Amino acid sequence: MTTRTRLSHLQQLEAESIYILREVAAQFERPALLFSGGKDSITLVHLALKAFRPGKFPFPLVHIDTGHNFPEALQFRDDLANRIGEKLIVRYVQDSIDQGKAVEEKGKFPSRNAIQTVTLLDTIAEFKFDACIGGARRDEEKARAKERVFSVRDEFGSWDPKLQRPELWNIYNGKIHVGENVRVFPISNWTELDVWEYIRSENIPLPSLYFSHKRQIVWRENVVFPVSEFVTLDSSDKVEEKTVRFRTVGDMTCTAAVESEANSLDDIIREIQTSRTTERGSRLDDKRSEAAMEERKRGGYF
């Protein structure tokens, strides 16, 4: 009589994600893994190591650098790529601005979040990527919840939520027409808490931004906002020093912090378990309209 070993919840999620990554390698000719230095893309890299080692990744890491990134995230990105010995491709939003392909926002808090799509689509065309792996999860935001694991984008990079393919019994269809590409989300079924518990169980290193630290801040729209060279302060702004951490890491011009004393993975997990706000509640770019994320995705966003 054989004894079956029951996988834990995290082991099931890990196995599903590794299966998806291997499906990408099998079905596409020129895939890429979109890497930002945030916890979700770091988790994807860890899963890829499990999926493909001792071999090399069948795709490069690709970062669209807006120029407004946290220095800690950029340093972590470079250190990780060097440590695992994988190819890192970086393309810059500033180049798109200089070439006249994108127009930078004006104002006190100028975000480059939307115009990074221009650089991403140019990068996809430059390297002829037919699949881009991303770390989006369905629990993040309502537009994310509409997306399939294999999400087809047309020749203009646009996403149509009404033209999503069925995904029955974990069967993923990667067939596309010339010019189209697929965005693949291996951790779609994970939650924020799942990611943190997996990071703890696997002892995955993270940028210091995710842990409590002292930082100069101003209050913006009732949230704690980091002071940086990319925002223009005026006499009405009161700069304070607070102990904060970041639940999500995007640009310094659109990512708010949370006041927190959590300086260990156990502390962070306890904090998330009792939190009444969503992870992306600190992403001000999502609050520009009721459908801000969906509008960006229709235009070719991650």
The alpha carbons of the chain give a radius of gyration, in whole angstroms, of 19
The confidence score (pLDDT) of residue 79 equals 96
Query: Can you give the three-state secondary structure of 109-134, one letter per residue?
Result: CCCCCCCHHHHHHHHHHHHCCCEEEC
Count of Cβ atoms closer than 10 Å to residue 161 Cβ: 13
Three-class SS state of 179 = coil
Q: Report yes or no: 44 and 186 within 8 Å, Cβ to Cβ.
A: yes
Query: Considering the entire predicted model, what is its pTM?
Result: 0.89
Three-class SS state of 214 = strand
Can you list the domains of the chain with their CATH numbers? 9-196+290-299 (3.40.50.620), 207-286 (no CATH)
DSSP 161: G
Query: pLDDT (tens digit, 0 to 9) for every residue of the chain, 302 residues total?
Result: 566 678 899 999 999 999 999 999 999 999 999 998 899 999 999 999 999 999 999 999 999 999 999 999 999 999 999 999 999 999 999 999 999 999 988 877 778 888 899 999 999 999 999 999 999 898 877 777 778 899 988 887 788 887 788 888 889 988 888 888 999 999 999 999 999 999 999 999 999 999 999 999 998 878 899 998 888 888 888 999 999 999 988 888 888 899 999 999 999 999 999 887 776 555 565 555 445 555 655 555 55
Q: Report yes or no: 279 and 247 within 8 Å, Cβ to Cβ.
A: yes
Count of Cβ atoms closer than 10 Å to residue 133 Cβ: 27
Task: State the Cα–Cα distance between residues 169 and 171, nearest whole angstrom.
Answer: 6
Q: Report yes or no: 151 and 184 within 8 Å, Cβ to Cβ.
A: yes
Q: Which residue from 181, 68, 169 is spatially nearest to 134, judged by alpha carbons?
A: 181
What does the block give as tokens for 182?
């697929």
The confidence score (pLDDT) of residue 95 equals 95
| 62: β partners | 34, 89
The confidence score (pLDDT) of residue 215 equals 95
The confidence score (pLDDT) of residue 114 equals 83
The confidence score (pLDDT) of residue 3 equals 62
The confidence score (pLDDT) of residue 302 equals 58
Angle at which helices 192-202 and 265-274 pack, to 10 degrees?
160
